[in-house]
């Protein structure tokens, strides 16, 4: 009896018992679809985070005040970085392209009778270059605006939509913390990243922000929230990090630990990667358990099936089936059930991922390799859990089997 015929025979038997076959498949279908969905969510999440980080701007470094220890224990905002640090980095570090300091605060913004509480980012004209932003309409503020502390503002696309609808906002006046600002431009939509929704923010020259909005001055100069730096290319990120560290240590006259932290996208990607890997592993673990349970289901129903089909087994043996023939028949039935169940589960899983994506929750999709993997695994489960019932069937005594009417 060859393999193809065993396959046909198994198919016929499975078709003859549609309900039983469907119930057996159910466990594997559930298991497999959850594996696909979980893995897809994990991969989608990873992709999402990677995208977010990339949209920050290529090869960006963040210089943040305080070291990890002070960041953790300090209750106040740490003020160890000043605007002059940013200027020094800009002029003295050779491996960088541009630097932009940011001085951020939350403020109420008013236009006519509408007001909203948003993030006001005080920054420099370099912001566009460093952070990879573009102006959709109007213009960005320039060095002259900086020098004169002009009360000009560039707004995010969502903020524009909220305050002005389809009206042209350029040259309109809005109030930020009771000062009037003229809108000179609107940024292109970028989405939020790392928790900051730039589309709902407004950008003003950093000097204007310091003078009119935040009003902070310190003996050392203008304190900034953080400094963003773009390195010349991906390879110079590490060099830039090293050079900036040296420069700031010198400027801050440090002997002990750094009073600032430099984060690169690579660091962030690594951390996020570790977290999402752990998450994926957990999800796959959960899905694996459901696959295992599906396998147990196959074994249970096959054991019942062996009992039900005792006479058939006895007859087959009486007309010449060997133990191997019977063993193979039952194992193949189990594998067919689990592989078809696996494929169906994969289909349902992909459908589920499509649904999740189309609902805009997360852009989740699965790779071909994980499809092959899950179908392979479900086949292996069928084999593994099919062996025990199949052995029971193969070892049935034909006389006993035939007489169990």
Partner 1 sequence: MSTTLMMSDLVNESLDDNSSSQPEIIRLENIFKVYGTGETEVKALNNINLVINQGEYCAIMGPSGSGKSTAMNIIGCLDRPTGGSYYLDNVNVADMNDQQLAQIRNLKLGFVFQQFHLLTQLTALENVMLPMVYAGVKPAERKARAVEALIRVGLEKRLHNKPNQLSGGQQQRVAIARAIVNAPVVLLADEPTGALDSRTTQEVLDIFSELNSTGITVIMVTHETEVASQTKRIVWFRDGEVVHSHLTPEELHHLVSG
State yes or no: residue 2 binds partner 1 (CB under 8 A): yes
CA distance 336 to 379: 8
State yes or no: residue 317 binds partner 1 (CB under 8 A): yes
Pair of tokens at residue 259: 């009073």
CA distance 344 to 331: 20
Task: Please identify which residue in 292, 325, 352, 387 interacts with partner 1, judged by CB under 8 A.
Answer: 325
Helices (H), 18-123: 18-55, 68-73, 83-92
Using a 10 angstrom Cβ sphere, with 0-12 exposed, 13-18 middle and 19 or more buried, the burial of residue 31 is buried
State yes or no: residue 319 binds partner 1 (CB under 8 A): yes
Q: Closer CB to partner 1, residue 15 or residue 255?
A: 15
State yes or no: residue 322 binds partner 1 (CB under 8 A): yes
State yes or no: residue 404 binds partner 1 (CB under 8 A): no
Minimum gap (Å) between residue 315 Cβ and partner 1: 4
State yes or no: residue 22 binds partner 1 (CB under 8 A): no
Minimum gap (Å) between residue 15 Cβ and partner 1: 8
State yes or no: residue 41 binds partner 1 (CB under 8 A): no
Size of the site for partner 1 (CB under 8 A): 26
Minimum gap (Å) between residue 347 Cβ and partner 1: 27
Task: Please identify which residue in 12, 75, 106, 253 interacts with partner 1, judged by CB under 8 A.
Answer: 12
Q: Closer CB to partner 1, residue 7 or residue 380?
A: 7
Task: Please identify which residue in 255, 320, 358, 360 interacts with partner 1, judged by CB under 8 A.
Answer: 320
Q: Angle at Cα 198 formed by Cα 194 and Cα 203, nearest 5°?
A: 130
State yes or no: residue 7 binds partner 1 (CB under 8 A): no
Q: At what angle do helices 18-55 and 368-394 cross, to 10 degrees?
A: 150
Question: Pairing relation of β-strands 173-176 and 196-197?
Answer: unpaired
CA distance 33 to 366: 11
CA distance 200 to 130: 19
State yes or no: residue 323 binds partner 1 (CB under 8 A): yes
State yes or no: residue 321 binds partner 1 (CB under 8 A): yes
State yes or no: residue 318 binds partner 1 (CB under 8 A): yes
State yes or no: residue 19 binds partner 1 (CB under 8 A): no
Q: What is the DSSP string of 187-224?
A: EPP--EETTEEGGG-EEEEHHHIIIIII---BTTB-B-
Binding mask 371-400 for partner 1 (x = CB under 8 A): ---------------------------xx-
State yes or no: residue 92 binds partner 1 (CB under 8 A): no
Q: What is the DSSP string of 284-338?
A: HHHHHHHHHHHHHHHHHHHHHHHHHTHHHHHHHHHTT--HHHHHHHHHHHHHHHH
Q: Which of 17, 7, 25 is nearest to 339 (CA)?
A: 25
Minimum gap (Å) between residue 393 Cβ and partner 1: 14
Query: Under DSSP, is residue 283 helix (H, G, I), strand (E, B) or coil?
Result: helix
Minimum gap (Å) between residue 339 Cβ and partner 1: 21
In angstroms, the Cα distances linking 261 to 62, 204, 267, 399 are 8, 25, 12, 81
Minimum gap (Å) between residue 299 Cβ and partner 1: 22
Does residue 199 contact residue 191 with C-beta atoms inside 8 Å?
yes
Which of the 8 DSSP states describes residue 82?
B
State yes or no: residue 311 binds partner 1 (CB under 8 A): yes
State yes or no: residue 255 binds partner 1 (CB under 8 A): no
Minimum gap (Å) between residue 349 Cβ and partner 1: 31
CA distance 251 to 269: 29
Pair of tokens at residue 145: 């605006």
Q: Closer CB to partner 1, residue 65 or residue 314?
A: 314
State yes or no: residue 402 binds partner 1 (CB under 8 A): yes
Choose one: 13-21, 126-134, 250-258, 331-339; the region binding partner 1 (CB under 8 A). 13-21
State yes or no: residue 405 binds partner 1 (CB under 8 A): yes
Q: Closer CB to partner 1, residue 321 or residue 356?
A: 321
Q: Which chain residues interact with partner 1 by CB under 8 A?
A: 1-2, 5, 9, 12-13, 15-16, 311-312, 314-325, 398-399, 402, 405
């Amino acid at each position: 009896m060859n393999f193809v015929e065993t396959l046909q025979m198994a198919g016929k038997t499975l078709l003859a018992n549609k309900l039983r076959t469907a119930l057996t498949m159910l466990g594997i279908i559930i298991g497999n679809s959850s594996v696909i969905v979980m893995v897809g969510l994990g991969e989608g999440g990873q992709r999402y985070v990677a995208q977010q980080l990339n949209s920050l701007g290529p090869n960006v470094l963040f210089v943040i005040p305080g070291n990890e220890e002070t960041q953790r224990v300090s209750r106040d905002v740490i003020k160890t970085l000043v605007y002059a640090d940013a200027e020094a980095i800009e002029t003295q570090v050779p491996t960088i392209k541009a630097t932009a300091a940011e001085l951020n605060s939350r403020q109420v913004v008013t236009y006519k009778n509408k007001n909203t509480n948003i993030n006001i980012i005080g920054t420099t004209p370099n912001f566009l270059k460093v952070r990879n932003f573009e102006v959709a309409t109007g213009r960005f503020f320039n060095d002259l605006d900086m020098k004169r502390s002009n009360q000009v503002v560039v707004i995010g696309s969502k903020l524009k939509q909220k305050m002005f609808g389809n009206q042209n906002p350029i040259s309109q006046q809005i109030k930020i913390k009771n000062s009037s600002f003229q809108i000179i431009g609107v940024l292109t939509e970028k989405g939020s990243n790392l928790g900051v929704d730039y589309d709902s923010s407004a950008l003003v020259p950093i000097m204007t922000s310091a003078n009119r909005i935040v009003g902070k001055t310190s003996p050392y100069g203008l304190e900034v929230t953080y400094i963003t730096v773009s390195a010349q290319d991906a390879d110079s990120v590490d060099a830039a990090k090293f050079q900036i560290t040296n420069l700031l240590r010198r400027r801050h006259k440090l002997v002990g630990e750094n009073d600032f932290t430099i984060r690169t996208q690579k660091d962030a990607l690594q951390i996020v990667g570790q977290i999402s890997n752990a998450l994926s592993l957990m999800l796959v673990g959960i899905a694996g358990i459901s696959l295992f349970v599906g396998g147990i289901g196959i074994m249970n129903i096959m054991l019942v099936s062996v009992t039900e089909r005792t006479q058939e087994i006895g007859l087959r043996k009486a007309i010449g089936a060997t133990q191997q023939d019977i063993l193979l028949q039952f194992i193949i039935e189990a594998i067919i059930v689990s592989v078809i169940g696996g494929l169906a589960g994969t289909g349902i899983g992909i459908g589920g991922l499509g649904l999740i994506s189309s609902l805009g929750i997360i852009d989740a999709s699965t790779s071909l390799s994980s499809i092959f993997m899950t179908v392979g695994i479900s086949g292996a489960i069928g084999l593994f859990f099919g062996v025990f019932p199949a052995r029971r069937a193969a070892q049935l005594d034909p006389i006993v089997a035939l007489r169990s009417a």
